[in-house]
Amino acid sequence: MSVAKVRTFTEPPEARVGGGSYRTGELKGIIRINPRHCVGCDTCRKVCPAGAISGEIGVTHRIEIDRCINCGQCLTNCPFGAIEQMAFVEEVLRKLGDKETLAVAIIAPAVRVAIAEEFGAPPGTLTVGRLHKALKEAGFVIYENNFAADQTILEEGTELLGRIAYWLLGLKELEIEVWGKKIKVGLEHFKHKPLPQFTSCCPAWVRYAELYYPKVLPHVSSCKSPQQMAGASAKTYGAIDIWKHNPAKVYTVGIMPCTAKIFEASRPEFCHAQKWLEEHGRLPQRSPRMPDVDAVLTTRDLAALFRRLNINPLRFPEAETPQDFEWYSGGATIFGSSGGVMEAAVRFAFHVLSGEEPDALSSAWDFKQVRGYTDPVVEATIQVPLKPAYQKLLGSDRFELRVCTVNGIGTEGSHLKPIINDAVAGRSNFHFIEVMTCSGGCLNGGGQPVNPMGTSWIDPLLPLRL
C-alpha cells in the first residue's frame, strides 16, 4: 500500500517571535490547517489531545496555536490531506552540501520501522543497517538516538530510585551499584521532586503539562529526552573526541517520528553544549546561540530528502558492523513503543535493587505487564527481589514497584486527566508513570508515514500499526 503525501511548508519569518504561550525562539505554527483543502469533516477536532482545534461540521476548522501541543495527530488522521507540517529539508540539504559542516543524524527507533513504507515496503519492515548506510551516503555521520536512550534510562532510572529512597525511606544519600560500579547519589534535591515520577521523553506531553497542569511539573523527570541528550553529547564529546571536528561546525539533525520534536529542539534552554564549550574554552564567550539540535526531520521529511538525493535505503544491504555512537541496548530500542520507556526503567531498577543480571535473551528481562498494547491505561505492580543491603533498608526481601503506562493521552486528555489529578492531589499509588501522547507510542507519531485512508490510529481500541 502506498502512503499519502503530506504537504509541508518552510519556516515563516514570524515563527520564532514568541508571544502567547510561546517564548522568543520557540517555533510556533508547526502544524497548520490549509483552508483551501479543509472540508470541515471534524476528524481533526475529535482526535486532538489538547482541545486546540475549533470549527463546526462543514465549516473550515482552525488550530488555536497557543493551545496546540504539536503532536500532529490531527495531521495523520485528516482524511483529506488538509493539514500541513513545517519542514526543514531545504536547510538540511544546504548543510549537507557545505564541506566545512559535519552533519550528524540522530535516528529515533520508530523511524527504522517506518521509513521503508515511504519506499513501497510493507509496514513494519525493519531497516537498521540499510538506513545507516543511506544516511552515510547522504553525507551524515550517525549518533543513534538509541545510544542516547540508554543514557536517558541510566539518568531517569537513577532519579526514580533517588525519589523512592528520599520519599519512602527518608534517606539523604543512596549508594547504587551498576554493572559492578558503586555510585553514591545525594538525595537532598529530591525534596522538590515528589513521587510519582512521570517520564519526560515525549515533548507533546511535556507541553501539555506546562499548558494545562503546571502543578504536575515537579513530578516530571528532570532528564532531557534522548534527542536533546544526543545533541549536546554530539557537539561536545562527539565533536572533540570522536570526530575531531570543530564543534561550531557540527550540525545536528534529529530524525524523528514526531512533529513535537521540531518544537522541542527550538526551546531556548537547550543550548547546553554551547555553555560547556564556552566554560572550557572551546568557544568564545557569548558566541551566537548554538542549539543542541539544529533541525528536526520527520520520517516523511527524511524520505523527501532521500528522494532529492536519489537515495533509496532499501537498495542497501542490511548487515553492518556498528561503530562509535551506533551501539545500543534492547532497552533503548523499545523506547518507540508505548510502555517501552517504562520497561527499560523497570529493567534498570530490577538490576540495581536485586543485583541480578539475567542473560540478554532471558524472559526475566521481559515485563510485558507494563506494555501499552491496545489499552489506554495500563497499571502493574512489579515484585523486585532485593539484595541484602536493600533488604536491611526496607525491612523486606522484596520491593513492590507500582507503575502506570498512559498509552495515548486521549481526546482532550481524557485518558491522562484522572492520572494527573490523583498525582497532584497526593492520591496516586504509583511510583513511576509513563506518558506517550500518541496511541501506541512514537510508532504512531505525527511525523510517521500516513495511511491514505485517513484511518484514525489514536483510538487504543483499534489495532496498532506495529
Is residue 363 part of the annotated active site? The answer reads: no
Is residue 264 part of the annotated active site? The answer reads: yes
Is residue 278 part of the annotated active site? The answer reads: no
Is residue 356 part of the annotated active site? The answer reads: no
CA distance 114 to 418: 32
Catalytic residue among 28, 193, 224, 261: 261
CA distance 448 to 115: 8
Cβ contact 222:193 at 8 Å: yes
Is residue 221 part of the annotated active site? The answer reads: yes
Catalytic residue among 74, 201, 202, 258: 201
C-alpha torsion angle, residues 315, 317, 320, 325 (rounded to 10) = 20
- Burial per residue of 404-421, b for 16 or more beta-carbon CB atoms within 10 angstroms, e otherwise: bbbbbbbbbbebbeebbe
> Count of residues for the chain?
466
Catalytic residue among 156, 326, 343, 434: 156
As beta bridge partners, residue 33 has: 83
Is residue 249 part of the annotated active site? The answer reads: no
Catalytic residue among 118, 144, 264, 434: 264
Catalytic residue among 84, 117, 159, 434: 159
Is residue 84 part of the annotated active site? The answer reads: no
Contacts of 161 (CB under 8 A, 6+ apart): 174, 176, 185, 349, 352, 353
Supply the angle between the helices 89-96 and 299-308 in degrees, to the nearest 10: 50
Catalytic residue among 14, 269, 279, 357: 269
Is residue 41 part of the annotated active site? The answer reads: no
Catalytic residue among 200, 221, 428, 439: 221
Contacts of 117 (CB under 8 A, 6+ apart): 3, 123, 125, 449
Tell me which H or E stretch contains 389: helix 388-394
Catalytic residue positions, numbered: 156, 159, 201, 221, 261, 264, 269, 442
